[in-house]
Amino acid sequence: MGPSVCPVSSCRSPRQTSQIPHRRWTRLHRHRRPSPISQIASVERQNNLAINVFGWDKGVIVHRLSKQPEEEARINLLLIEKAGKSSGGVQGNRPDSRQEMPPEGKNKFNFQNHHKQLPAPYIIYADFEALTTKVEGPELDPTKSNTQRTQHHEACSYCYVKVRCDGQTEAPVEYRGRGAAEHFLRALQEEERGIQGVLANPKAVRMTREDWESHRTASRCHVCDGLLEGDSVRDHCHITGKYRGLYPRGGPRVPPGASG
């Protein structure tokens, strides 16, 4: 009933995120739920509605056509019969979803995306400044929307800094002028080409005395903390060459270019 009683166009705000309030004032006093066809006339009178009921059996079946005036909100319901029981009448307040628990054997979950625990090769932190200009336009009808655009934000400058996985930073990049957003995207594309060049030439692993000791005594994967069984490989940062630990061959997937 919801879309017919309270269509999208009648929402007070275009940013409506909560339940449309029609459920609170749909009156179904002294009616079974779902209401049978014999009680629909009473539901119509209580709620100023016009309710039609249809069925389907290799074609449309008309179970009921409302005699209410055309100006009343009109609702078309589909009556579904299954195993001798029918459903599709007027419903009361019912939850929008049902709870369905996973079956035995599939009811235990553990973390799988271990590669997301590893540092990304590079991170770019950016910040924009914008000028606000007034938006001219007619006043909105407060009965239909409480949200009205009054200003337009236009990016006028930005600054970003690129941080390597070991914390090393480069000089901040700044720009001020027209087309700041487009200029920023072009700058990111240039940074991407530079990063791809670095990742295409990985540094060899550098092992210190402490690294060799850790390597020799390691019994668990440094990515997922699982026991090491079978062949293991050394994981190191392709950008700095720093040794990070062991992980099983064919084990957890790691970010491209971040280890090997």
Assign 243 to helix, strand or coil: strand
CB within 8 A of 35, min separation 6: which ones?
28, 43, 89, 90
pLDDT tens for residues 178-217?
Answer: 999 999 999 999 999 999 999 999 999 989 999 999 888 8
Query: Tokens 């994967």 map to which residue?
Result: 221
Q: Structure tokens of 89?
A: 């009448």
Considering the domain architecture, whether residues 82 and 126 belong to the same structural domain is answered as no
- Residue 123 pLDDT greater than 70, yes or no: yes
Looking at the domain assignment, is residue 207 inside a domain? no
- Structural domains counted in the chain: 2
pTM for the structure as a whole: 0.52
Do 51 and 44 meet the contact criterion of CB atoms below 8 Å apart? yes
Looking at the domain assignment, is residue 226 inside a domain? no
Listed residues 199, 216, 241: the one ending a domain:
199
Looking at the domain assignment, is residue 42 inside a domain? yes
- Residue 83 pLDDT greater than 70, yes or no: no
Q: What's the N-to-C CA distance of the chain in angstroms?
A: 58
Listed residues 180, 199, 218: the one ending a domain:
199
Cα 113 to chain center, whole Å?
18
Looking at the domain assignment, is residue 29 inside a domain? yes
Do 221 and 234 meet the contact criterion of CB atoms below 8 Å apart? no
Looking at the domain assignment, is residue 109 inside a domain? no
pLDDT tens for residues 208-224?
Answer: 999 999 888 888 888 78
Looking at the domain assignment, is residue 178 inside a domain? yes
Looking at the domain assignment, is residue 36 inside a domain? yes
Considering the domain architecture, whether residues 69 and 133 belong to the same structural domain is answered as no
Looking at the domain assignment, is residue 166 inside a domain? yes
DSSP 82: E
Categorize the per-residue pLDDT at 7 as very low, low, confident or very high, splitting at 50, 70 and 90: low
Which range of residues forms the domain containing residue 193? 120-138+146-199
